[in-house]
């Protein structure tokens, strides 16, 4: 099949979405479909936005980016913060710009919050971060435990508390921050307005144990590629362990090793274990919350059927 894209378009943009858990094969499929249908990739990965963090985030290589345009990668330094509202605005601009040039925008990633906010048209409160308030709330979480902080959120915003896992301290703190800065619960500020895209959502899945084996192989490959050196390089640039970016999978556990809190073998085992847990969360987030996703099992992938689905979407009137 030849690439080349669409004729320059006006009106409603089409957006192809490729989602699924970590290590399932989203990047490879997006490259193939992008080349086949004249697409450009828009990242929906909350870790790939950071510069200098390539190995631990499984970022596409510069060679791959040369083959096909990729957007919303390397947007911020590791000590900068890019809010969900900011990401949503940037992504919407890129989608319209790519579509206006006659190319197919392809949103790719496993960050469910990014994907859903963009495709469901969430109205996200643009409240700038209050670092002093966050530090106080983080201290409360350390001293009293995450459940106590989650209870404080439930007292002022029960709907948000119902939606947010108590273990996700960052999201609990953000919800409390929005409430304390505005006096309005974050759940009341998260209305949905249809984004106006024609959407096709393709989800990739894989038998759980096979995916776990793929995760283990990916982690071993990251170690061989120099994940430890990457973390040391970030520290040398002045990016400390306390930064949210450094709490990501791989970086947190290698940090434990470098601080002498774990052996290298223990750190690698922790990365694998924590990535498996994250995959289970991703699986539940996508499959249980969205019935419009067309699921394909990677182990039995019918490429002809998938290509026909995308072709029909691209060519529909």
Instruction: Give φ, ψ of 99 to 5 degrees.
Output: -65, -40
Running DSSP on this structure, what letter comes out for residue 60? Answer: P
CATH number at residue 151: 1.10.20.140
Looking at the fold, whether 229 and 197 belong to one and the same domain comes out as: no
Q: Quickly list H helices, 164-250.
A: 169-182, 208-225, 227-236
Within a domain: 8:
no
Backbone dihedral angles phi then psi of residue 2, each to the nearest 5 degrees: -90, 150
Assess if residue 6 is contained within a domain: no
What CATH code is carried by the domain that includes residue 41? 3.40.50.300
Contact yes or no for 19/201 (Cβ under 8 A):
yes
Q: What is the pLDDT of residue 2?
A: 46
Q: Which two tokens stand for residue 101?
A: 């040039």
CATH number at residue 228: 1.10.287.890
Residues 154 and 18 in one domain: no
pLDDT at 1: 43
* Residues 217 and 305 grouped into a single domain: no
Residue 290 lies in a domain: yes
- Let me know whether 200 and 221 are in one domain: no
Structure tokens at 243: 């930064």
Pair 181, 146 in one domain: yes
**Other Cβ atoms within 10 Å of 45 Cβ, number:** 22
Taking the C-alpha atoms of residue 185 and residue 175, their distance in angstroms, rounded to an integer, is: 8
Q: Which residues pair with 18 in a beta bridge?
A: 108, 202
Q: 235 in a domain, yes or no?
A: yes
Domain that holds residue 245: 209-279
Cα–Cα distance for residue pair 93/58, rounded to 1 Å: 25
Residue 159 lies inside a defined structural domain of this protein: yes
Rounded Cα–Cα distance for residues 308 and 107 (Å): 19
Return the pLDDT at 8: 45
Residue 5, in any domain of the structure: no
pLDDT value at position 226? 98
Structure token digits, residue 110: 């496993």
- Residues 197 and 217 both lie in one domain: no
Q: Are residues 108 and 178 in the same domain?
A: no
Q: Considering its fold, how many domains does the chain have in total?
A: 3
How far is residue 248's CA from residue 271's CA, in Å, rounded to a whole number?
10
Q: Is 26 found in the same domain as 72?
A: yes
Q: What pLDDT sits at residue 314?
A: 93
| 3-state SS, residue 130 | coil
Residue 316 confidence (pLDDT): 84
- Check whether residue 60 and residue 97 sit in a common domain: yes
Residue 91, Cβ neighbours under 10 Å: how many? 24
One domain, residues 94 and 203: yes
Give average pLDDT by consecutive 10-residue segment, the chain, 317 residues: 50 90 95 97 96 96 93 96 90 95 95 90 82 92 93 94 90 93 85 85 95 97 98 98 94 98 97 95 75 92 96 88
Whether 162 and 96 share a structural domain: no
292 and 164 inside one domain: no
């Amino acid at each position: 099949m030849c690439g080349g894209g669409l004729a320059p378009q006006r009106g409603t943009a089409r957006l192809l979405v490729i989602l699924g858990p970590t290590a399932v094969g989203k990047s490879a499929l997006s490259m193939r479909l992008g080349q086949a249908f004249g697409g450009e990739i828009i990242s929906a990965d909350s870790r790939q936005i950071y510069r200098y963090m390539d190995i631990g985030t499984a970022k596409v290589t510069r060679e791959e980016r040369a083959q096909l345009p990729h957007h919303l990668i390397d947007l911020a330094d590791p000590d900068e913060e890019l809010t969900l509202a900011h990401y949503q605005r940037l992504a919407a601009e890129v989608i319209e710009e790519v579509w206006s040039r006659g190319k197919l925008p392809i949103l790719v990633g496993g960050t469910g919050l990014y994907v859903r906010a963009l495709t469901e048209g969430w109205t996200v409160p643009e409240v700038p971060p209050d670092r002093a308030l966050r530090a106080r709330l983080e201290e409360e979480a350390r001293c009293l435990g995450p459940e106590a902080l989650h209870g404080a959120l439930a007292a002022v915003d029960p709907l948000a508390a119902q939606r947010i896992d108590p273990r996700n301290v960052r999201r609990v703190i953000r919800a409390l921050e929005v409430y304390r800065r505005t006096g309005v619960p974050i759940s009341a500020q998260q209305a949905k307005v249809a984004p106006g895209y024609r959407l096709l959502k393709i989800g990739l899945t894989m038998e759980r144990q096979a995916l776990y084996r793929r995760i283990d192989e990916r982690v071993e490959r990251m170690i061989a590629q120099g994940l430890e050196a990457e973390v040391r390089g970030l520290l040398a640039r002045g990016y400390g362990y306390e930064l949210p970016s450094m709490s990501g999978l791989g970086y947190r556990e290698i940090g434990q090793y470098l601080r002498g809190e774990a052996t290298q073998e223990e750190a690698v085992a922790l990365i694998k274990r924590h990535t498996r847990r994250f995959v289970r969360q991703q699986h539940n987030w996508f499959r249980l919350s969205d019935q419009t996703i067309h699921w394909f099992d990677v182990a039995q992938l019918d490429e002809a059927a998938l290509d026909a689905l995308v072709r029909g979407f691209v060519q529909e009137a």
